[in-house]
Chain A
Amino acid sequence: MSRMQSIRTRMLFWTVGVSGLILATLIAWSYVSVRTRLEMEMIERTSFQAELAANKIDRILSTFQGVVQGLAIALEAEGLDISFERVRGMQSTALRDNPEFYGVAVAILPSINPGRWPDPAPYVHRSKGSFDYYSLAGGGRNYIGEDWFSIPHYLNKARWSEPYLEPPDVKMVTYSVPIHIQGPEGPRFAGVVTCDIDLGWMDGTIADIALGKGGYGFLISKNGTYISHPMKQIVFNESVFSMAEESRDPNLRRIGQRMISGVSGLIDFMSSAREEKSWLAWQPLKTADWIMGTIKSKEELRLSIIAQIRTEALVGLSGLIVLIIAVWLVAQSITGPVRELGKASKILALGDLDAMLPRPRGRDEVAQLTNAFSAMRDSLKRHIVDLANTTAAREKMNSELRIAHDIQMDLVPKTFPAFPNRDDMDIFAILDPAREVGGDFYDFFMLDPDHIVLAIGDVSGKGVPAALFMAVTRSFLRSEFRVEPDPGRTLHRVNDELSEGNDSCMFVTLFCAVVRLSDGFVRYANGGHNPPIRLHDDGSLEWISTPHGMACGASSGVEYTTGSFHLNPAEYILLYTDGITEAMNPDLVLYGEDRLASCVLGMDRPTCRDALGTLMDDVRAHAAGAEQSDDITMLMFRWNASTPRGGA
């Protein structure tokens, strides 16, 4: 038995195979669904966090805006008609109340300076724990072309400047709010209030965004310049566009242009520097013209999926292993007893019916099989004992039948030539029973040296009863011929003898003839037997069909007529039983009297032995191997008149 053919292996193979397949399908399905879900989550988170960080920065910046705008409103409300000391006081208050403020300036167009101010551009700033003042117009400086002045001036609105780095490493930004005063033609630009703000808190705020491994937040100005980025060396040095140019990445330039367009967005992004697939989301601030960007690496998505799938796979595999063990144990509980049963049955097959069978456990199919096996063995044992007895009985019977056969054969004369010292006749006979013993018989014997009796009979039925009846018939026939050698009278007496006490209602057909050897005169009588054949010396054939009586033994008192004829020299008489004419071939076609006649006619003065041999061969040829159903008995006699008489 190959390994694959073992039940246990097949159970394991199929269980593990099918479960493994299901598991793999589940994991694949899970991969797809988890991937989709996580991807959507991460995309949302990327956008959300850009928005969140932008809002956070906006919140802080708008607080500052409020303060500076408050200052501007206060100055505008007074039409700038306030004392220089009060302006200075307002500047100091703003600094004191807002720790992130580094300096506050109020700068008025020189042409508008109320005149009472000694300085059109007072600047108050922190310095070693206190506040210092100096004039932005001092030393011949002209501030009207500075960004912080000219941009709010010409745009006529409050502006956050591009952030800048104050040596050594302080990120600053300036917020400028224009101040207007009422002129004859309505409000007109008079100057600005500015505030320099330390952005030290901003990097921390951006670094706090949780974007996972490989993800980060960054901030760019309206010009695309990096204001905050995890790579410190590019902050203030590079813009998205300079990076795009350096890496020859026109796509990055287009992305940069979308980012500074003032609309939020989200795209798949492949950084040319890091060669890592990511999502990039951006959100413009509402206060400054800056853009908050978030990058989330897709690698993290991959890792998350792998982590989740790995857990699922581990759980699944553990389950599979438990399943394997369970299946193995179940298979073992089935195949173990079956295998033991197999071993035991091999021993049984070798004939050892006393081999131990495995003890059945439980009431399952295997236990039932074991019980059935046990019952079969017991039955087999009994059967074998019976068979031995039966065989012994049959052997005995066979042997007895063999003996009976021998005895029956001994009842008929079977030594040929029967009369070696007489050449006035030729005689030969064959008795071939269908079984060990049969009901046919033939007989011949000399009544005196000139008379020979020829007889043939066929007892109804077959086997031992027929054989016994035949033996009885033969004995009666022999003894009755001694009483009176007339064939008719002999048959009459034999019939009476046989019918007396014939409870089994058996009967026998009988033909007997007495041949006077001196002249070939034949007397005969027929008790229900097939008509014998007389073969004339001219080669013609005659059926001796009359007289014909009824079979002997059925009822007593039957008279039989004796017929007679003269044999010419070298004429034959053939006696036979219906075993010849009723011999059947496999197609159940009878041999028949016609074929018998033609066979006999085809012979050219043979000896009786040769003639019967030829006839027997022809019958066998006809039977063509079909089983012999009836006894075959033939007797042939030829009278040779030319031969001088001699004693038997």
Chain B
Amino acid sequence: MAMAMKDGSDGTSMRLADRRNPRSSPVTLCIVGMLLLGPILSSNSQSPGVSAPKLPTTIRVALQWKPQSQFAGFYMAKAKDLYRAAGLDVRLHHADATHNSLDMLRDGGAELATSFLADALIAACKNPASAGTALPGIVQVAQVVRRSNLMLVAWKDLGIHSAADLDGRRVSYWQGGFSSSYEAFFHARGIRPLPIPQYYSVNLFLSRGVAACAAMEYNEYDRIRQAGIDEDQLSVFLMRDSGLGLPEDGIYAAAGWMAHNRETALAFRRATMAGWAYARGHVEETIDVVLAEAKKSGVAANRSHERWMLGHILASIFVKGESPERIGALDAVDFEKTVDLLRRDGLLDRAPSLSAFAPMQESAR
């Protein structure tokens, strides 16, 4: 209870933050690392055979954060019976500050989990099961969000008008996978801001305790706007504009489970992407479902923010000007870029091949 209490206090701030897995702190990752789940998961998975069972296959999916539009495609696939039509009985679980989605994947709490690509890559390679081999402990089922939303938001009235102005200033950003993007950004600009750890909230930024903070365009940026800050008060640096944008939300499975459930995973991937397509065509209906999910979980939410988030997430899934067949796929160039960034930052010492990390690329196509 007391724990919950303290988290709760963060939770308020989380309302402003929550886009990301908060527990990708090194400590957490150590715990994750100690879990070896591949075999366990494979034993948990039902009917390893590929023969289409009459009974729907039950799949537990760990979404990386509390209910919000970031997961609208999952909700709609379930609400519109797209999973059921694919022979799946999907149970959606939400991770939170204390339960990381990848942890849930590894400790057997879920068959599938969503995660950011960078975090998943780090987790995959720290898996002791893959130690000494090039085989990852976690493999990708789909790369849902293919375009980066990562940004730095800075106060103009604290003198930040260009990236150079950040030099020597306090800048808060998330640790873990995203720190690589920011640090590459600072390196490229030749600046050395004072890094401040950022968790789930932008309140420190709103209190002007830092000159700039990390934000997702679809979430924190709008949270700042919804705190009454006008866009012209802010200087915004989108990582993708500097070529430092990394693919974000993907669907992952333990490698062991995947080895026996390719068809199920494929079915899940297709149904989920269909759910996103549905959400894209039925925005208001989707927001209704999202708000109902948030209410069910006691998470603060409002329609305008969820609409903003859905719009930006959809634009990052169905990237304008790209061929439809690439939807849900991990781009080789993006993969290399991510590996490269993480490696340069020392978060990754070795990397799996794209085909080992994302074994479904071909079959999905």
Contacts and interface: CB of A to CB of B under 8 A. Distances in A.
Interface of A: 102-103, 105, 123, 125, 127, 132, 134, 136, 140-148, 150-151, 154-155, 159, 161-168, 172, 174, 196, 222-225, 234, 236-242, 245-246, 253, 256-257, 260
Contacts of A143: 6
A141 B100 CA distance: 13
A223 B198 CA distance: 18
Interface string B2-43: 111110111111011000000001011011000000000000
Given A238-B302, A245-B304, A246-B304, A224 B3 contact: no
B305 interface: yes
Given A196-B5, A223-B206, A242-B305, A146 B10 contact: yes
Interface stretch (B182-190, B220-228, B309-317, B336-344): B220-228
A238 B27 CA distance: 34
Nearest to A194: B9
A237 B290 CA distance: 13
Given A146-B9, A163-B12, A246-B302, 6 more contacts: A103-B5, A154-B204, A155-B207, A168-B298, A223-B203, A236-B300
A144 B172 CA distance: 12
A237 B210 contact: no
Contact of A151 (B8, B11, B15, B204): B204
Contacts of A236: 12, 15, 300
B31 A147 contact: no
B333 interface: no
B2 A142 contact: no
Contact of B209 (A134, A141, A154, A239): A154
A245 B228 CA distance: 11
Nearest to B294: A237
A455 to B, nearest CB: 143
Contacts of A103: 2, 5-6
Contacts of A245: 226, 304
B9 A196 contact: yes
Contact of B226 (A102, A163, A196, A241): A241
Contact of A242 (B13, B31, B206, B304): B304
Given A154-B170, A154-B196, A237-B302, A174 B9 contact: yes
A140 B31 contact: yes
A155 B209 contact: yes
B301 interface: yes
B105 to A, nearest CB: 19
A223 B2 contact: no
Contacts of A159: 207
A167 B197 CA distance: 27
Interface in B153-204: 170, 172, 196-199, 201, 203-204
Contacts of B172: 145, 150
A239 B300 contact: no
A150 B207 CA distance: 11
The 4 tightest CB contacts between A and B, nearest first, are A164-B12, A140-B27, A154-B209, A145-B197
Interface of B: 1-6, 8-13, 15-16, 25, 27-28, 30-31, 170, 172, 196-199, 201, 203-204, 206-210, 225-228, 230, 298, 300-305
Given A147-B10, A147-B204, A242 B226 contact: yes
B205 to A, nearest CB: 10
B28 A162 contact: no
28 contacts: A103-B5, A123-B2, A125-B2, A127-B2, A132-B1, A132-B2, A140-B31, A145-B199, A147-B9, A147-B203, A148-B10, A150-B209, A154-B170, A154-B196, A154-B204, A161-B9, A166-B5, A168-B298, A196-B5, A222-B207, A223-B203, A223-B227, A237-B300, A239-B227, A241-B227, A241-B228, A242-B302, A246-B302
A622 B300 CA distance: 129
Contact of A150 (B204, B225, B228): B204
Contacts of B206: 222-223
A167 B207 contact: no
Given A125-B1, A145-B197, A150-B197, A224 B8 contact: no
A145 B198 contact: yes
Contacts of B6: 103, 105, 123, 136, 143, 146, 148, 196
B52 to A, nearest CB: 41
Contact of B9 (A148, A167, A168, A222): A148
A142 B176 CA distance: 14
Nearest to A102: B5
A219 B258 CA distance: 51
Contacts of A161: 9, 12-13, 203
A424 to B, nearest CB: 151
Contacts of B4: 166-167
A154 B171 CA distance: 11
A103 B6 CA distance: 9
Contacts of A123: 2, 6
Contact of B5 (A172, A240, A246): A172
A257 B228 CA distance: 6
Given A161-B12, A242-B305, A140 B228 contact: no
A125 B1 CA distance: 9
A568 B210 CA distance: 168
A581 to B, nearest CB: 128
A25 to B, nearest CB: 50
B310 to A, nearest CB: 14
Nearest to B17: A147
Contacts of B1: 125, 127, 132
Given A125-B1, A151-B209, A257-B228, A165 B203 contact: no
Contacts of A132: 1-2
A26 B94 CA distance: 70
A250 B300 CA distance: 23
A155 B207 CA distance: 8
Contact of A172 (B8, B208, B230, B305): B8
Contacts of A155: 204, 207-209
A134 B2 contact: yes
A165 B16 CA distance: 14
Contacts of B30: 140
Contacts of A224: 226-228
Nearest to A153: B209
Nearest to A140: B27
B255 to A, nearest CB: 25
A132 B208 CA distance: 35
Given A125-B5, A224-B227, A239-B227, A150 B196 contact: yes
